[in-house]
Amino acid sequence: MEKILDIVDAIAHEKCLTPQKVKESLQTAFVQTAKRVIDRNFAFEASVNEETKTIDLIQIITVVADDDERLKDEEIAPTLISITEAREYDDQVELDDQLQIPHDLEEYGRTGASQLHREIEFHIQRAVEDDVYTKYKSKVGTLVNGRVTSVDAQNNTFIEVDEVRAVLPMKSRIKGEVFEVGDHMKAVVRRVNMDKFDGISIELSRTSPKFLEELLSLEVPEINDGAVIVERSARIPGQRAKIALISTHPQVDAVGATVGVKGVRINSVSAELQGENIDCIEFTNIPELFMSRVMAPAIISSVEIVRDDEGKEIKAIISLPVDQKSKAIGKSGINIRLASMLTGMDIELNETGATTTDENGEPVAQEKKDGVDALEALFN
């Protein structure tokens, strides 16, 4: 047990821990070993002795009166000592003093040594897991890169991310995606758990709206720099997404910067998402105007916002021409679902009975967007 602190730096370097954490783990290991090989009811403390480069193990016993009732309690008694007995060790002790009785685990032979070895291994590993847990807990919602190491029978994909193994469940994979061992992939950290039996587990996701936001941040410098903010996002993975953008700089067009020249930026993100179509929308705090933008490509006539008793927007009643209803709903209801997800409101569609035609009876060109333009003019 001599000069055990000489190995602290080596352990710290090997396990990527700080020397202080290694020392704390060694102290805990000494205390737990003492409880197992000496008496689990005793109160032990372990302190680092920098001079001798050892860890000193002491038993703490509180001095009480000879007639103290706690001496009869089997659970508490091992941590107490009567003043008469205490003065056999030190004739100067007083009531409530704490006697410190040194112990040496070497006196317990191979039993003590093997138990200490197991405890050190266990607590060093726990320190490593705690360090990894803290590191990845702070990364929840952020993008990570990894290499596929295996795919199980349930199609859960296991990925090696830095020094840990993470899992991408089948439910968190975009429909149609197939991964093979050796593939490199991106995902966001969805959840980090610590279990005393299974250790640390990291769950990844490629279906979360946060994954879309992180990919945009990677691809669009203005988002990464904070000149453009993704205010809200909603996805139906692999099919379509809507993102609400806001510019923090008067000379930066949020939608234009995100789409990029000829759509190069948004197309790059779409390719990573298996061709998912991404609608970019300029965000506004005016709910009626925002709803009119979110419902694109449908041309709507008016929006009425219903609020609850606390003033929270809970429902949008949208009036629109008959021929725009199918566009508002979208294929399999995808457009109206995304609009509801993005705004957080239920949506009710009311047909006005008229079609969007001009004075010659021809359908209005898509560029006119009469309903949206009217709302824009109303609120600007």
CATH number, domain of 165, equals 2.40.50.140
Same domain, 132 and 63: yes
The DSSP result for 183-202, as a single string, is -EEEEEEEEEEEETTTEEEE
Contact 58, 103 (CB under 8 A): yes
End-of-domain residue from the set 268, 283, 298: 283
Can you point out the beta strands (E) in the chain?
43-49, 54-64, 80-82, 98-103, 143-151, 157-161, 164-168, 184-195, 199-205, 228-236, 240-247, 277-282, 302-307, 313-320, 346-351
Same domain, 348 and 371: yes
Q: How many domains does the chain have?
A: 4
pLDDT at 378 exceeding the cut of 50: no
The reported pLDDT for the residue numbered 360 is 55
Average of per-residue pLDDT across 300-309:
90
Same domain, 60 and 120: yes
| pLDDT category of residue 363 using cuts at 50, 70 and 90 | low
pLDDT at 90 exceeding the cut of 80: no
Of the two residues 357 and 91, the one the predictor is more confident about is: 91
Of the two residues 230 and 81, the one the predictor is more confident about is: 230
The reported pLDDT for the residue numbered 342 is 93
Same domain, 218 and 299: no
CATH number, domain of 297, equals 3.30.300.20
Query: What CA–CA distance (Å, rounded) separates 315 from 346?
Result: 5
Neighbours of 78 (CB within 10 A): 15
| pLDDT category of residue 315 using cuts at 50, 70 and 90 | very high
Task: Give the residue from 214, 226, 224, 216 showing the smallest Cα distance to 266.
Answer: 216
| pLDDT category of residue 4 using cuts at 50, 70 and 90 | confident
pLDDT, the chain, mean: 86
The reported pLDDT for the residue numbered 365 is 42
End-of-domain residue from the set 80, 110, 136: 136
Average of per-residue pLDDT across 66-71:
82
pLDDT at 368 exceeding the cut of 50: no
Same domain, 145 and 132: no
Same domain, 108 and 13: yes
The reported pLDDT for the residue numbered 355 is 54
pTM of the model: 0.73
Same domain, 300 and 215: no
End-of-domain residue from the set 136, 153, 171: 136
pLDDT at 201 exceeding the cut of 90: no
* Residue range of the domain that includes 305: 288-380
Same domain, 226 and 121: no
Average of per-residue pLDDT across 206-212:
94
The bridge status of strand 143-151 relative to strand 302-307 is unpaired
Of the two residues 377 and 334, the one the predictor is more confident about is: 334
Of the two residues 1 and 322, the one the predictor is more confident about is: 322
Q: Is 233 left (phi over 0), alpha (psi -120 to 50) or beta?
A: beta
Query: What CA–CA distance (Å, rounded) separates 270 from 125?
Result: 41
The reported pLDDT for the residue numbered 364 is 53
pLDDT at 202 exceeding the cut of 60: yes
Same domain, 16 and 85: yes
Same domain, 249 and 267: yes
> For a pLDDT cut of 70, what percent of the chain falls above it?
92
Same domain, 121 and 107: yes
Same domain, 217 and 119: no
The reported pLDDT for the residue numbered 243 is 95
pLDDT at 83 exceeding the cut of 90: no
Residues present in the chain in total: 380
Average of per-residue pLDDT across 209-224:
94
